[in-house]
Structure 1
Amino acid sequence: MGQSESSGKPLGGSAGIISILVPGGLFVWFLQFLPAVAAGETILFRYDWVPALGVSIGMLIDGLSLSFALLITGIGTLVTLYSSSYLGGHVHYSRFVCYLLSFMLGMLGLVLSDNLLALFVFWEVTTIASYLLIGFSADESKSRRNALQALLVTGTGGLAFLAGIILLGAATGTFELSEIEGSLAEHPLYLPIFILVVLGAFTKSAQVPFHFWLPNAMAAPTPVSAYLHSATMVKGGVYLLARLNPSLGGTDLWFWTLTLFGGVTAVFASILAIKQIDIKQVLAYTTLMALGTLVMFIGLGTSDAIKAAMVFLLVHSFYKASLFLMIGVVDHGTGTRDATVLRGLTRAMPFTALAAALAALSMAGIPPLFGFIGKEFFYKASLSAEIGMFWVTACAFLASALMFAAAGIVAWRPFTGRLAETPVTPHEGPWAMLIGPLLLAALGLGLGLFPDYAEVLVRPATAAVYGAAVEVDLYLFKEVNSALILSLVTFALGWLIYMGHGTLRDRLRRSPDRFDPGWDRLMDGVLAGCKWQANLIQTGQLRRYIFVTFLTLAVALVWTIWRAGLVPTMELGDDLRVKHWAVLIAITAGAAIVAFTNSRMTAVAALGVVGVGVALIFITFGAPDVAITQLLVEVLVVVLVAVAMLKLPQMNVEHVKAVRVWDLLLALTIGVSTTVVLLTVMDTPFDLRLTEFFEQASAPVAFGRNIVNVILVDFRALDTFGEIAVVAIAALGAYALLRGTRRPNP
């Protein structure tokens, strides 16, 4: 979506001011927990949400959740400040603010929730909010398509995650993260829990083969891209894997799945980044690289690997948000994001160039930026791995070299060389759009020079993920070792890739993208399948609908009776009197007439006989109120159906004879099966506890002596209200239908 000029209101008006104050205030509030968490404490707030189901809303603040919370609110404050200028004049800016704050609060709930069910609720909030943000330019078909793609991919993974949560709760006996202790590796449910949780995490964090939705999310406005890629939704899957690492990690399945998929994602995405022309797309694919790398090192699971992952979590958040915001300024100031067009912008956009240079140096892992420390710790962890050392090191090395080249494409080439012609004369962005990228880039430099300040977050976060306290000593340089030598080789290879990236990009662009078109073919297949199913099932024949419904019921009843071996032992006929036999004969005769008559009116009348017979049964056994209801319904049905019959064409006798045999067999099957089930139920000892409760509570609690009425009006008031609402809605529908069929007088 293109940018919008400022509306003239400071900070985008009241909507913009609110959007800045909310995350800013939350950031300050979360800062108060930093000393306690840095000291190793875990802070827990809990409120019972649904006590009957054991569901509570708890806020768990430890090193991992606090790191995410500070990133979400801190970067969120800068993003909303940026948005107030970037989108402040948009006609739907207030709506955008609502979506963005919902997204932010959903992500905060996700990382802070102690209860897994509450975590899932917030997980889906981020899914829906991201759908609204990606599809913000709803008049563009591309935005709608990409938003729906993100919703379906992450939403499907969310359903798998929910199933995993349920199994996890069954395995541990609790849904509280703070109460889950020890590893589940030996539990019989470990495999299904692992598969379902990993599916949810991989779809959310766009691991291969679910990676294709994330670059397409670039259809969202640039502030959303900066926020989504740096601190929020896409790291939700990484957070989930990190949070459950103490419980699900430490197994061969966990190790190989995460390291293989994470490594493939990191390298494959880095190659695709070089393929892109739009610098925003280049950054999008480098996010996939970062997510894959984080997943790979969480899977590696050693203390050094978890430490490296937590450092890189901060490194990536700072430089990625800065670069995305920088790209928005470039797009705003030049009217293009084409990497083949942008050149020589430093003189026209000096502050943007400064932010781009610092952030890109951190992304490339060049000292003394914070990114260099992150890369050094990655290499140290991979080289010290006892299992999979070659695979993890090779993937980290190739991805880092390609990231070096991508940093040059995004932030070196556009600002060097001779100024090129662009759609808009290059000019610097407004201050509200420059503060964010400059501050975040400066943080990358500051934490590189003074890494001790990052330890207050990295140390407790590492302990939370690893499951035990880990010594963390961040440094810029200590000695010449294998990791440093590997970094130098990375710089050399990265520079060579950057120098030849034009040729490499042209070759890569010749190979077609099979994942995204494959998604379209999948959706086309689903649509074709739905049409085939609709044509098969939705025939427009009411008789077929009824037949299929009752056939399904008959199969379910017969299957249940056969599997359960139901054989009723009640003796019938011992206490039946003449009046009982009379009613039984009347009901049987009415049903037989319905089965064999060729007249609709006769069939309706015979059905009325059956209904009256049922009412007589109610009267005989002491339920006059139910009998009155039955009689009223029967009279109403007979009258209405009889009136409707007058408008129907004559019955096709031959067609009726052709289908009647099957109808008769189905009716007999339903009748016999239902009878067997009812007799079996009646043969079961009756539990009178509920009956006794209503008998004892009706008068003193509900002040009524008619127990049935008390149940309907008091004890089941909401249910009765719902039934009344259904009747009212049906009446309104019938009224509207009748009015719609009236023809105006000529």
Structure 2
Amino acid sequence: MLAAILLGFLFAIFLVFTGKFFRGKLAILSALIPAGLFAYFASFIPQISSGEIISKTYQWVPAFGVDLSFKLDGLSLLFSLMITGIGFLVFAYTASYLKGHKYLDRFYGYLSLFMAAMLGLVLSDNLISLFVFWELTSISSFFLIGFNNTNPASRKSALTALGITGFGGFSLLAGALLLGSISGTYSISEMLSMKDAIAGSEYYILAVVFIFVAAFTKSAQFPFHFWLPGAMKAPTPVSTYLHSATMVKAGIYLLMRFTPVLGDQEFWNTTLIIVGGITMVYSAVHALFRTDLKGILAYSTISALGILVFLIGLGTKYAFLAASVFIIVHALYKATLFLVTGIIDHQAGTRDVTKLAGLRKIMMPVAIAGILAAISSAGIPPTIGFLGKELTYEASMHAETLTIVIVIAIVLTKILLLWAGFVAGIKPFTGKLPEAHKDVKAPDFLMWAPAIILAVLGVLFGIFPMLIESALVKPVVSALGADASEYHLALWHGFNTVLLLSGITIAVGTLLYFFVKPSAKLENRIGKLEFISPKSILEKGTHYFNVFSAFWTNVFQNGYLRNYITTIVLFLVVLVSYIMFGSSRVVIDHTQLSQVTAYELVVAIILIAGVFYTVFTKSRLAAVAAMGVVGLAICLIFVFYSAPDLAMTQFSIDTLTVILFVLVLYRLPKYLTLSDYKMRVRDGILSAALGTVVCLLALQVLAEPTNTELGDFYAKNAYILAHGKNVVNVILVDFRGIDTFMEISVLSIAAIGVFGLLKLRLKSTDRSQ
């Protein structure tokens, strides 16, 4: 499994050196990577359907319990097949859609990175490695969404998506660390046996909230949903891949994976039902007010994701069965509709549904794919969409509370989604062909063939549901901790309430399609409420944050070193004083203090005199000399307390500093004026306060009981593990090693930035700006 994941990363690296060969006719060869991976994962279907779970672990950071652990069960197999199967079709589609694009190889590299990251995410059985792959999907999707980087709207959409999903990634890390602290392991499989202990922990709700935020941001749940419609600025292959079967489903996967660990609790179930219910209705209503085909598909996607979250929240075996089938349903019809939309935009030059009609006369295969996908999204037999809709209704009717409300909400959502599917999949191909589109040409085979394949599969799985029942659906339900062995998928279950609701959905949705037409007027109406949308609220918050940041910068980060030092010292004094005097009184153990000797007193007087002379002298050269006296006095103190190595270091550094100061001051002009009197008084008070706090802190430390555990560890292991005879040197080397590692990292990042600037080639128009 590790090799399957690394293949995508290696192919992306391979394209860096051989990309020019994949910009022309050889571009189609890129599709062999996901095709091969699809065949690889498909080979595990017999084993997984028989109940087997395949695991593999590679040590990574064993000291912290972080391993590259991978698990292939029903849930991860379904997602792996979607990632690679739809990935294969998207790779092939891209070869025609972006034919001749000068950055086609770069696009394939981004797609490969994303595919590999998604595979790592769904196969990971370790929370930390899952987080790493989770973040890799966010980064690679940022490049994909912002692929048209010359377009400001694309760049803004990419940044928005990265910001929202990046915040979710931070939340996932917090949740992972908290769950690891509660359970003592980062292995998701091991957490299954600790479900009761995790649920009984005082940090259970906090851990669940972190997981929820991660899932809701990634799967575009209200109020984090607005990044997904904005991401439609990306090329159609990106929209197809990320928003039908992969990225937006990552949050769904996370919730499903943790349902056996964190689920079956009131807080978990209730939150998911509320958030999923609000999202599915809110987004389905919004789809009515859109005229851009991608906009309609975006909001219908958010609504479908809300349905999945809603079903996971119901937490019954019927709900898990419905969610498993609906994941397949949505991936097939939504990927088809996105591909169809891309073909229309590519050939006709517009996605405005109010300007599209009659395209069946030019692109009949595309029309067939769109109509079949629309029928599946509407849940009309014999498509698999009909199965998914009936299972969803059945799961809703088995809800424990508010059954009527839940059923009404899901039926309303399905009616609106039927309308959206018909508008996106049927309307562009029916009616009379406009004059403006009579010169539109038919697309290449590579563009319409992937859409036809997905649309036909939607019908095939509906007529023969046994093809996916034991191979895909039931293993997913088992992975969620439920038993669906007695249930069998079938188109016909007799005349019952579910069939009645299905008929009402189809009838009302069809009438809605004929009577409610997409229009700019409707879109303008919803635009008037944009000021109260989550997106607008976030943008206003961002504006006020920028205002605050400007104020903070002007006051505290204004370029004056003295202000920086004053702020740091003041903060340190206040913080340490609060800790020392706020929690308990200062205790000084006088028995720990030695008698002051005459030579110590003399040195202290010299040091204090040097400090005062440095502060009040009007000669900079005299101030430097006085600072040298202070440094030499400190050297003597080190000698008195048996630290000759520190004394020599201090002497060397202090001498060199004095010499450098003299050389610099020799070239500087004389003082014009001394600093303001009030400022000098302020600095004096602050300096005295810092000195007092540090003195009291040192005396407080002497009163604390001595803990020799750390010292004993270094004493025992300094020579054995670090091969150092001096314990102090070993400690210094340890800390210096960490410090050097961080410095190397910073310098490497800076070097990459400098290299990027050196390689930058601006146009003459850009240089003038």
Structure 1 residues 242 and 693: alpha-carbon distance in aligned structure 2, compared to 1, 3 A threshold? closer
Is 1:624 matched with 2:647? no
Q: Whole-Å Cα distance in 1 between the matches of residues 742 and 67 of structure 2?
A: 31
Q: Whole-Å Cα distance in 1 between the matches of residues 173 and 635 of structure 2?
A: 47
State the shift of 1:659 in Å: 2.2
Is 1:650 matched with 2:665? no
Tell me the residue number matched to 2:451: 437
Tell me the residue number matched to 1:122: 133
Structure 1 residues 39 and 566: alpha-carbon distance in aligned structure 2, compared to 1, 3 A threshold? farther
Structure 1 residues 363 and 534: alpha-carbon distance in aligned structure 2, compared to 1, 3 A threshold? same
- Contact 1:306/1:466 (<8 A) preserved: no
Q: Whole-Å Cα distance in 2 between the matches of residues 577 and 166 of structure 1?
A: 53
Q: How does 1:575-594 map to 2 (within 5 A)?
A: 575-594=595-614
2:279 to 225, 250, 265: 265
- Contact 1:349/1:426 (<8 A) preserved: no
Q: How does 1:459-474 map to 2 (within 5 A)?
A: 459-467=474-482, 471-474=486-489
State the shift of 1:435 in Å: 2.3
Tell me the residue number matched to 2:157: 146
Q: Whole-Å Cα distance in 1 between the matches of residues 747 and 541 of structure 2?
A: 42
Is 1:65 matched with 2:76? yes
State the secondary structure of the residue aligned to 1:346: helix
Q: Whole-Å Cα distance in 2 between the matches of residues 97 and 19 of structure 1?
A: 7
- Contact 1:15/1:97 (<8 A) preserved: no
State the secondary structure of the residue aligned to 1:49: strand
Deviations 1:626-669 (A, max 9, x none): 2222112112222333444452552634x443123322222222
Tell me the residue number matched to 2:40: 29
Tell me the residue number matched to 1:92: 103
Is 1:663 matched with 2:678? no
State the shift of 1:12 in Å: 4.2
Q: Which runs of 5+ in 1 are unaligned?
A: 1-7, 733-746
TM-score (normalizing by structure 2)? 0.88
Structure 1 residues 690 and 230: alpha-carbon distance in aligned structure 2, compared to 1, 3 A threshold? same
State the secondary structure of the residue aligned to 2:59: strand
Deviations 1:592-618 (A, max 9, x none): 323444443333222221111111222
Tell me the residue number matched to 1:548: 567
Counterpart of 1:581, as a letter, is: L
Is 1:312 matched with 2:312? no
- Contact 2:288/2:518 (<8 A) preserved: no
Structure 1 residues 718 and 480: alpha-carbon distance in aligned structure 2, compared to 1, 3 A threshold? same
Structure 1 residues 626 and 723: alpha-carbon distance in aligned structure 2, compared to 1, 3 A threshold? farther
- Contact 2:556/2:567 (<8 A) preserved: no
Tell me the residue number matched to 1:351: 365
TM-score (normalizing by structure 1)? 0.91
Structure 1 residues 328 and 528: alpha-carbon distance in aligned structure 2, compared to 1, 3 A threshold? same
Is 1:495 matched with 2:510? yes
Q: Whole-Å Cα distance in 2 between the matches of residues 728 and 371 of structure 1?
A: 54
Is 1:525 matched with 2:544? yes
State the shift of 1:678 in Å: 2.4
- Contact 2:589/2:702 (<8 A) preserved: no
Bigger Cα displacement from structure 2, 575-584 vs 544-553: 575-584
Counterpart of 2:175, as a letter, is: G
Tell me the residue number matched to 1:274: 288
1:81 to 92, 107, 110: 92
Structure 1 residues 299 and 724: alpha-carbon distance in aligned structure 2, compared to 1, 3 A threshold? closer
> Percent identity over the alignment?
41
Q: Whole-Å Cα distance in 2 between the matches of residues 701 and 488 of structure 1?
A: 75
Q: Whole-Å Cα distance in 2 between the matches of residues 229 and 699 of structure 1?
A: 57
Q: Whole-Å Cα distance in 2 between the matches of residues 299 and 559 of structure 1?
A: 46
- Contact 1:15/1:94 (<8 A) preserved: no
Tell me the residue number matched to 2:500: 485
State the shift of 1:440 in Å: 0.8
Is 1:302 matched with 2:313? no
Bigger Cα displacement from structure 2, 698-707 vs 242-251: 698-707
- Contact 1:402/1:494 (<8 A) preserved: yes
Q: Whole-Å Cα distance in 2 between the matches of residues 217 and 424 of structure 1?
A: 31
Deviations 1:431-460 (A, max 9, x none): 221221111111101100000111121101
- Contact 2:220/2:227 (<8 A) preserved: yes
- Contact 1:335/1:423 (<8 A) preserved: no
- Contact 2:263/2:269 (<8 A) preserved: yes
State the shift of 1:524 in Å: 2.2
State the shift of 1:467 in Å: 4.8
Counterpart of 2:116, as a letter, is: L
Structure 1 residues 223 and 702: alpha-carbon distance in aligned structure 2, compared to 1, 3 A threshold? closer
Counterpart of 1:650, as a letter, is: Y
State the shift of 1:212 in Å: 1.1
Q: Whole-Å Cα distance in 2 between the matches of residues 726 and 403 of structure 1?
A: 49
Tell me the residue number matched to 1:507: 522
Counterpart of 2:333, as a letter, is: Y
State the shift of 1:686 in Å: 5.1
Tell me the residue number matched to 1:736: none
Structure 1 residues 648 and 674: alpha-carbon distance in aligned structure 2, compared to 1, 3 A threshold? farther
Tell me the residue number matched to 1:636: 656
- Contact 1:365/1:373 (<8 A) preserved: yes
Tell me the residue number matched to 1:738: none
Tell me the residue number matched to 1:740: none
State the shift of 1:93 in Å: 1.2
Structure 1 residues 17 and 618: alpha-carbon distance in aligned structure 2, compared to 1, 3 A threshold? farther
- Contact 1:264/1:395 (<8 A) preserved: no
Q: Whole-Å Cα distance in 1 between the matches of residues 356 and 316 of structure 2?
A: 43
Structure 1 residues 551 and 288: alpha-carbon distance in aligned structure 2, compared to 1, 3 A threshold? same
Deviations 1:207-229 (A, max 9, x none): 11111110110011100000011
Structure 1 residues 663 and 247: alpha-carbon distance in aligned structure 2, compared to 1, 3 A threshold? same
Structure 1 residues 120 and 18: alpha-carbon distance in aligned structure 2, compared to 1, 3 A threshold? farther
- Contact 2:289/2:526 (<8 A) preserved: no
Q: Whole-Å Cα distance in 2 between the matches of residues 109 and 328 of structure 1?
A: 28
Task: Report the RMSD for the aligned CA atoms in angstroms.
Answer: 2.8
- Contact 2:35/2:88 (<8 A) preserved: yes
Tell me the residue number matched to 1:4: none
Bigger Cα displacement from structure 2, 162-171 vs 355-364: 162-171
Structure 1 residues 702 and 329: alpha-carbon distance in aligned structure 2, compared to 1, 3 A threshold? closer
Tell me the residue number matched to 2:307: 293
State the secondary structure of the residue aligned to 1:401: helix
Structure 1 residues 701 and 506: alpha-carbon distance in aligned structure 2, compared to 1, 3 A threshold? closer
Q: Whole-Å Cα distance in 1 between the matches of residues 382 and 71 of structure 2?
A: 35
Counterpart of 1:343, as a letter, is: A
Is 1:166 matched with 2:190? no
Q: Whole-Å Cα distance in 2 between the matches of residues 727 and 24 of structure 1?
A: 40
- Contact 2:79/2:122 (<8 A) preserved: yes
- Contact 1:341/1:422 (<8 A) preserved: no
State the secondary structure of the residue aligned to 2:360: coil
Count residues with an aligned counterpart. Answer: 721
